[in-house]
């Protein structure tokens, strides 16, 4: 649980320095912070715990033992450290494509893919696997367009409010009826 934060700055988890916790769990990766933080983002759960958004470390302050994230980390939030996994990142893009088709009856004419630059930095040359997976889901006749961003603003599911996400891929599909 987040016990001390201010905006996007995280100080404590369960009353312990968040930086100390990260260093403990990152082991050899800790010396590369904040860059290696891309490999270990934070999952921030909503009040009911049924969905989450991802937050990425932007900066580390050793003196004040604080972490700055790309997005707010409210006090009393429940969070979980994540660890990257190539296959799960690609699977996440495929799931996003499947979700984008949930409320349309025809094959989309256009799909706009917005992927976080953090995913690109983690996946490196495997980044094209995301696009190939999405293309398989939406179909070869669907035109794909997209870009990399430093955070995505989108709903988690159809009908939800839009939220800031990090290290995600958002897909918007268009179909003429």
**Three-state helix/strand/coil letters over 68-91:** EECCCCCCCCCEEECCCCHHHHHH
CA 151 from chain center: how many Å?
A: 8
The structure tokens 């040359």 sit at 125
Q: Which residues form the domain of 56?
A: 2-81
Residues 24 and 69 in one domain: yes
Query: Over its length of 177 residues, how does the chain's per-residue pLDDT go in tens digits?
Result: 999 999 999 999 999 999 999 999 999 999 999 988 888 989 998 777 767 888 999 999 999 999 999 999 999 999 999 888 888 889 989 999 998 898 788 889 999 999 888 888 888 888 899 999 999 999 999 999 999 988 788 777 777 788 878 888 889 999 887
**Domain-terminating residue out of 81, 115, 130:** 81
**Domain-terminating residue out of 19, 53, 81:** 81
Residues 54 and 7 in one domain: yes
pTM of the model: 0.79
**Residue 62: predicted pLDDT:** 93
**Domain-terminating residue out of 35, 63, 81:** 81
Residues 95 and 169 in one domain: yes
Which of 90, 79, 81, 87 shows the shortest CA–CA distance to 132?
A: 90
Residues 145 and 160 in one domain: yes
State the total domains in the chain. 2
How far apart (Å, rounded) are the C-alpha atoms in residues 68 and 45? 18
**Residue 116: predicted pLDDT:** 85
**Residue 105: predicted pLDDT:** 80
């Amino acid at each position: 649980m987040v016990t001390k934060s201010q905006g996007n700055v995280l100080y404590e988890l369960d009353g312990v320095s968040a930086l100390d916790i990260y260093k403990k769990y990152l082991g050899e990766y800790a010396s590369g912070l904040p860059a290696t933080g891309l490999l270990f983002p934070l999952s921030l759960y909503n009040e009911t715990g049924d969905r989450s958004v991802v937050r990425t470390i932007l900066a580390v302050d050793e003196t004040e033992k604080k972490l700055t994230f790309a997005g707010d980390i409210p006090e009393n939030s429940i969070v979980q450290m994540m660890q990257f996994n190539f296959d799960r990142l690609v699977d996440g893009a495929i799931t996003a494509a499947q979700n984008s088709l949930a409320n349309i009856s025809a094959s989309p004419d256009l799909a706009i893919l917005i992927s976080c630059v953090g995913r690109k930095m983690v996946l490196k040359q495997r980044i094209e696997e995301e696009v190939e997976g999405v293309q398989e889901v939406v179909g070869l006749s669907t035109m794909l367009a997209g870009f990399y961003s430093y955070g995505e603003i989108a709903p988690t599911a159809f009908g939800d409010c839009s939220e800031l996400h990090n290290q995600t891929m958002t897909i918007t599909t268009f179909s003429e009826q």
